[in-house]
Every structure is written in structure tokens, then in C-alpha cells.
Amino acid sequence: MKELQPRVDFYLRKEVFFVTLGSILGAFVMFVPRTLLDISLGKEYYITWLVFAHAIGSNSIIVGISIHVFVATIIGIIGGLILYRALKVLNISKISNGIIFGIISGIVVFVIFFIPINQFLLAPNMAEVLTQLDPKMTFLESTDFVQKNYTQTVIDGVVSHLVWGITVGMTSSVLTTKFGARYRCHTCDIQFSKIPTFEKHKKYIHDNPSPLMKRILILGGGFAGTGVLRRIQDAFEDYVDVDIRLVAEDNFLLFTPMLPEISSGTIEPRHITTPVRTFCKRAKFYEATVDSISLKEKRVTIVRPFDLKKTELQYDYLVLAMGSRTNFFGNKNIEKYSMTIKTLGDAMHIRNHILTMLESADQEDDPNIQSKLMTFVVAGGGFSGVETVSEINDFVRESAENFYRNIDNDKIRAILVSAGEKILPEVGPELGDFAAKAIEKAGVEIISKTKIVDAGKDFVVLDNQETISCGTIIWAGGVAIDPVISKLECEHDKIGRVTVDGQLRLRQYTNVFALGDCASINDIHSGKPYPPTAQHAIREARTVAENLVASINGQNVTQRFTYKTKGTMAKIGRRTGVAVLMGKHVSGLVAWAIWRWYYLTNLPTREKMIRVALDWLVDFFAKRDITRLRNLKEEFNEEDLKSRVSSQEVSTVKSEIE
């Protein structure tokens, strides 16, 4: 049987550190052959350091040495990393490959760096320095001396850079082997940061499986699930007898606070999504839906989306972080005819639909039909509803002004229907009033203390019997619990969330933890459940991770969850927002800037921060992009057309299509 070997993956932070150390060490070690040559051949290499110093107007040899070391280190880091990435075929954890890598690095740096520097910097300054050291020597004599010794200088440079390169390669190789980059077991699809840990994994999992394996299963790939995953992976990094698995419906973590900006095209969809596999270092990931959970048998059945194949996963410890679903409160018509703003697909669908309405309205001559197409109804006076209607209102009005010149501004209606007396009750009445005035000033109509009780393809019915003709209905009116969670044989609250103790464990099953939207977690200060927000899910993940680690290590689970909300924020249009921070009320441009800064810095990776920041920068200077990307062919049918135009117009449109 072929011996199991790890696959070495590149890990930027550690490799930068390893190459940096190797380059600094190499910058000093390369002086060794120079010193030996000076002693044996009577040369004076220190003159080179004086030349470096002279190039910046100094006569100090210390300055020259510092410049030499600094330049060698910087060039080494840049050149070393580029070569490391280019030479992927070299497993640098092997000393022999490290030496090969070092030789190539030394030669490349010599050709690209040393020869040009020697030709254009060292040689011209060398003659001047020699005349300063020996006043009897003329400038022509010193120049002639430099030219005669050019070949020897090149040979010395080759030797020095090879010594430097081999030092970099061997140092990086030793450090990578000892402290690790990313050593992946391709059989288990998990990785380790140290070779010794991988060897232990190979011994106790593959060669002689351990009967003491502890299996952790996390259900959910949102803030709660990935938060727990990232922390327990760090804690169990060197534990080869701990198996971690994560199941999620999507293969990405969605940064939901920025979802409304996807619906207006301000941010590109992939820029607020991070692949779950990015976080899965010591964990195996399954993109699947959860079909059933048996708490008594410690078994979870999942369904693969491609072919609906079912797989059973056993666990010793279970983490429930499955989030929530959109709640239509049993109204089938609203569920059928409205769009939601819960997932990335929802936001993308809303944007495409809005552009369809704009394109259709721009071609429409009948003012009544155009008004209907340009009426957008959003249900829900909370964060999701207010931020969505604000984004849509700005997007539609700006797009109509810049691109759709057949649509008058007075034909556009963005309507927010709120069941409460005030919108944004989470920020209090004062800021709620500010938000209402701000979005009304921007053109949004607010219908408060009202509910949508029915809907059709092009209308909504309010509980006051008013009917609004519209081309768009967006439902942001509430959340419901996944039936898999609400049907579990354990305690639930009145809306179906599982109830947990202070340590976030199910009371009947102490090996099962629950957090996020699917868990009812009481605030000991207010006696009410914590709200289902991202900031709470992130803090709950810390508590679950600490208690999970303690439980697996045989310690008492004592960490209680308690958290006082730092604040709440909402963006209510272009450069306007409201926020409650540490009890202080902030509104307008300052609140908007704080909102953007806070959520930008909380994106999971630096790459996403940069991409979102660039999206915002482009949006600040450029017009909104009205490109519509379809992934399904749109077809006309008579039933859809009848809902918007008369039967005579249907015949006309059908004949034009034919």
C-alpha cells in the first residue's frame, strides 16, 4: 500500500514570515564568503558598504551595512514569495527541494537585482569612494581599477547570492517542516499546521484508528455556525481524535447586513459571500439540506442537492445553528406573489425584476400601466424592510433620471407598509421619526399601523380594504423557524425555537448546543429572548465554542452567555443613517459613515473588505449599473400578460412575438 503523504498548501502569512527570517539570515550569512575572500585574497569588501552609504550621501559604514541588509531582505521576500508561488511543484517542506528553491532564488535575484545595481549604482560610486580612501589615486586610475576587477566582482556576486539563496531555502524549509504551512490529508480532506500533527493523524486515524474519536457536527453555515467552527478548529488544531463536520445549504457565508445593497447593484454579489471551505481547515464540509435530526440516536440525515441522495451522519456533539426562514404567517397568496429579501438569490432576483419593470415602463405609453409598473411595495417596518425600500427607491429614481427618460419621477412610487406605528422600533421613537422623515423626503411613502392581508400578481390588499396596484411586492415581514428544528423532540418557545440553558445547551440533551435564529436565549437582564441579529450570533458562537471545548476536555461547562447590545444601526438611503451606539443617538451622515465602517471592518476576509470598499468607491463617482444578468430564459404567456394589459393588447404583443 502506498504510504499516505500530505499535500502542502501555501499559507501566505506563515510563508512570508519564514521567507523573511531566511532572507535576514541570508543577508548576514552571505558576508561569510566575502570575509573569507577578503582574508585569503587581501580584498576589502567593506568598500562595497561604503559605496551603499555614499549613494545616499553618508560616509558611515554602519549605514552601508544597514542598507545592504535591508535591501537584501526586501528583495529576498518579494523574489522568494514570487518564486515560491511559481514553483508549486516543489514541496518546500523537503530539505532537498528547499536547497533547489534557494539556488534558483539566488540566481534570479543576482540576475534581476545585482547586475543592474552593480552596473548603474555600485560601479560609478566605487571609483569615487576609492579616490576618497586613497587621495594618491586619480579618478581615472580608480575607474580603471573597477573595470579590471569587474569579472571578479561578478564571480563574487554569484557566490554570495548562491549562499544567500541556499540560506533562504533551507531556513524556509526547516521552519515549514517544524511549524507548518498547511499539510492536507487528501483522504480526510482536512489540514494541519504542523507535520508532527499530521503524522499523529496518519497513525491514529489511518494506520491504527482510535476508538476514542469524538465527532462534532455543526448544522448551519451562517455567522453562528462558522463562528463556532473557527474557534473550535483553533482549540483542537493538534487533536487528531476530534472529527469536525459542518453542513450548510449554501457553500458560502452570506454577509446579510449588506444584502439590500445587492438588490440595487451597489455591491457585487460575490463580494459579500465567503466560501465556507475557506474556514474549513480541520473540518469536512457538506453542501446539503438537513432532512431530519434524531436527538436520541445522535444521527442527522442530510440530502445532497444534485441528486437528492441521503446521507446519515453520526455525532457525539451537535451544534444547531440553522438560522430561520421567511414567515408569511400562513398567507399563501403573499407567499406566492411576493419576493423575499432573505438570501443572495432573493436580492439578485429583486434587482433583475426592478430592471425588468424599468425597461417595460420606459416602453409603455399608457400612464396607468406605467404607474403600476413603477409602484414598488415593501412590507416590513424593521431593518430589512426600511433598508430595502430605501435602496430600491434610490436605485429606481436615479436609474430613471439617467437612463429611462420616458419615465417621469412622479410616476415612481416606493411604498413601505409597516404594521407598527413607528418604523425601526429597534432604534427608538426619536430615531424612528428621523428615519421616517428622511426616507419620505427621498420619495418613499410610509403606510403605518397597517398590514398586507392579500396579494395578487399586480396588487396588494391592506387590512383597511385599500388595494394598491403595483408591479413589485417584497415581503420583509418576519421570520419562521425551519420545520426540522421546530419538530425536534425537546422544549420550544411559542414560535418554534429550541429553548436552551445559560450555557446554550438543550436542557434534555447536554451534548447538543443551539444558537442564532433557531434558539431562544433569554437575556438575564431583561427576561426577554435576545434578538436574532448577527452581532448576537457572533458572541453566542464564542460561548458555545468555549463550552464545547470544555466538555470534550472533560471539564465542567460553566461559561454562561450574557451580552449587552453595543448598539443598532440602519442605513436609510444614500449617505444617511441612524444608529444607537452605547446609548447615544447618532443620525445623518455620521451614522451612515459609522454603519459603513463597522460592517466593512467586520467582513470575514481582507479580500472582501477591499472588494466592497472598491464597490463603494465606484458607486460614489459613477452612475448605477443597469446591466441585467439573466440565468433563465424569460417567456411570455397569456396569463401573465392579462394581469398587466387588456386582452386586445395581449393579442398585439403575441403577434409581435410571433
- 615 pLDDT exceeds 80? yes
The secondary structure of 451-487 as a DSSP string is -EEEE-SSEEEETTS-EEE-SEEEE-S-EE--HHHHT
Residue 43 has what pLDDT? 53
Does residue 16 form part of some domain? yes
Residue at 634 is within a domain: no
Does the pLDDT value for residue 635 go beyond 70?
no
- 506 in the same domain as 413: no
More confident site: 181 or 98: 98
Q: Are residues 357 and 490 in the same domain?
A: no
Whether 259 maps to a domain, the answer reads no
Please write the tens of the pLDDT for every residue from 208-254. Answer: 777 778 999 999 999 999 999 999 998 888 788 899 999 999 999 99
Percentage of the chain exceeding pLDDT 90: 52
- 363 and 426 part of one domain: yes
Does residue 416 share a domain with residue 317? no
580-611, pLDDT tens digit by residue? Answer: 988 899 999 999 999 999 999 999 998 999 99
Higher pLDDT, 189 or 447: 447
Q: In this structure, is residue 639 part of a structural domain?
A: no
Same domain, 430 and 367: yes
Per-residue b or e along 390-413, where b marks 16 or more CB atoms closer than 10 Å to that residue's CB: bbbbbbbbebbeeebeebeeebbb
Rounded to whole angstroms, the Cα distance separating 87 from 571 reads 47
The SS3 assignment for 246 reads strand
First to last CA, the chain: 66
- For residue 385, tell me if it sits in a domain: yes
Alpha-carbon gap, residue 273 to 258, rounded angstroms: 10
Q: What is the rounded CA–CA span in Å between residue 164 and residue 33? A: 10
Same domain? For 451 and 575 the reply is yes
* Mean predicted confidence (pLDDT) in 130-150: 71
CATH number at residue 623: 3.50.50.100
pLDDT at position 180 is 58
Mean of the per-residue pLDDT values of the chain: 84
Does 642 map to a domain? no
Residue 366: alpha-carbon gap to chain centroid: 46
Tell me: do 229 and 109 sit in the same domain: no
- Which tops the pLDDT comparison, 304 or 26? 304
pLDDT in tens, 532-543: 888 899 999 999
CATH of the domain at 303: 3.50.50.60
**Would the pLDDT of 80 be above 70?**
no
Same domain, 37 and 65: yes
Q: Which three cell numbers stand for residue 54?
A: 555614499
Asked if residue 337 and residue 319 are part of one domain, the reply reads no
Which cell goes with 530?
Answer: 435576545
Q: pLDDT at position 171, please?
A: 84
Query: What range does the domain containing 308 cover?
Result: 210-249+288-324+481-565
DSSP 325: E
Looking at the structure, tell me whether residues 125 and 79 fall in a common domain: yes
Domain count, the chain: 3
DSSP notation for 257-304 = GGHHHHHTTSS-GGGGEEEGGGT-SSEEEEE-EEEEEETTTTEEEEE-
Give CA–CA dist 83/407, Å, rounded: 57
What's the rounded Cα separation, in Å, for the pair 518 and 506?
A: 12
Does 607 map to a domain? Answer: yes
Residues 76 and 146 in one domain: yes
**In this predicted model, what pLDDT tens digit does every residue of 363-394 receive, in sequence order?**
999 999 999 999 999 999 999 999 999 999 99
Specify whether 94 is located in the same domain as 171.
Answer: yes
Whether residue 153 is contained in a domain is answered as yes
Cell 491514529, residue? Answer: 204
Distance, in Å, from the CA atom of 199 to the CA atom of 194, rounded to the nearest integer, reads 9
